[in-house]
Amino acid sequence: MSATIDRVRAVLYLALNPKRLVQLIAGLVGATLYVWFAAVRAAPGVQERKAATRETWRRRERKRP
């Protein structure tokens, strides 16, 4: 029975203070984005591909006004 009471307390803790729920969701989204960006940056060859893309962009043919 105490497990049920603990769950109700947890729900009430968030339901009575919506700001806490928003902070929890924002924290989870922020942590997920951080991990995703860190994983993308750590992927092999990312720096070389980015450098090649920047160089291609710099050397592109530009339109004259």
pLDDT in tens, 9-59: 888 888 898 898 899 999 999 999 999 988 887 788 888 888 999 999 999
Query: Domains of the chain: which residue ranges?
Result: 2-58
End-to-end Cα spacing for the chain: 76
CA 6 – CA 12 distance, rounded (Å): 10
CA 21 – CA 26 distance, rounded (Å): 9
pLDDT in tens, 42-55: 788 888 888 999 99
CB 21, CB 14: distance < 8 Å: yes
How many residues make up the chain in this entry?
A: 65
CA 42 – CA 48 distance, rounded (Å): 12
User: Residue 1's pLDDT band (boundaries 50, 70, 90)?
Assistant: low
